[in-house]
Structure formats: C-alpha cells, structure tokens
Amino acid sequence: MTFFEKQTDPTTPMHWYGNMQADYLYLSGVAGDKFFKHIIKNDTFLATKCPKCNKTFFPPRIYCEDCFLEIPHSDWIEIPAKGKVELFTIATVDTYGIKLEKPKVVCMINIDETDGTLLGIIKTDDLEEEFRGIHVEAVFKSKNKREGTLKDILYFKKIE
C-alpha cells in the first residue's frame, strides 16, 4: 500500500519546482487616481470627509465605510503632508531575511487633520531617538520625477 512504502533511495524525485508567472498593474481607483494626480503637482495630501459622521479618511475614499454613503467631490479637502508618529519599529533585515546595510525606521504616521495613518520611513542617523509622538513631514521626489505612485514620497523627516 503506497502510504506505507518507504522511499529509501535518495535519488527518487521528491519535488517539482515552479514559479508564479504573472505581473500586476494596479489602477489607483477613482479616489486613488485623484489623490496621486494631486501629489504629482503638489506637496500636500488630499483626504475625504464623510458628510454624515465627519470621519476624515486618509488615504481618501469615495465612500464612508460606516455610514455607507458616497462622499461627494465637494467633501475632498487639502491637508499638509505632515503627521505624528503613532507606532514605530526599527527594521534590521529585509523581506527575505537578509541583513540591511543600514537599519530602517518604519512608522505608522497619523496624518494631521485626518483619522487615517500612512506607513512611512523616517530618514535619520540617530536610532536611539524616541520616535513615538514626534512630528514629521513628507519629503517628495522633485516634481519632474513624480509618477503618481506611493514612491513619489521619498521618506519622512522630523520637523524641528
């Protein structure tokens, strides 16, 4: 019976190898497209505010998930690209477990004037600093290099 047959020959084939071949093009969506087109030209962010419960969404959305109402164009607001660090960690290895040349400070930043947060990297040489609670602002790529993706935000830096 196959279940109880032992495989004692190390040259018997044990595995089959393959990979997942597919690439992805993610459209930003109705809300995302408006947001990214804005940061191509400006150094500020956009957010949306629900007309009923006043919750301010960042990243912006076309609907409020609680009231389940559509947020009209008139409720889009422009806000500075600044925030306060809620949580942080210092990453010493990359996605594959390989040691980074220089550790990265990765934070959840609560964007000012909104109820939302953004994942960002703080560029700093001082790793001993207490990052929680500090105020930071976004540093963007130069305008002619922006493409309309999250990478247009290079990193965040502490506001002195």
* Residues at the interface with another protein (CB under 8 A): 1-3, 5, 7, 12-33, 36-37, 40, 61-63, 65-68, 70, 147-150
Closer of 50 and 134 to another protein (Cβ):
50
The enclosing H or E element of 57 equals strand 56-57
Closer of 5 and 126 to another protein (Cβ):
5
Q: CA–CA distance from 119 to each of 1, 12, 23, 137 (Å)?
A: 54, 47, 24, 13
What is the nearest approach in angstroms of another protein to the Cβ of residue 94?
Answer: 13
Closer of 13 and 133 to another protein (Cβ):
13
What is the nearest approach in angstroms of another protein to the Cβ of residue 29?
Answer: 3
Q: Judge contact between 81 and 42, C-beta under 8 A.
A: no
Sheet holding 76-80, edge to edge: 56-57, 44-49, 76-80
What is the nearest approach in angstroms of another protein to the Cβ of residue 47?
Answer: 16
Six token digits for residue 21 = 């071949």
Closer of 121 and 150 to another protein (Cβ):
150
70: which DSSP letter?
A: B
**Is the C-alpha dihedral spanning 149, 150, 154, 159 positive or negative?**
positive
What is the nearest approach in angstroms of another protein to the Cβ of residue 67?
Answer: 7
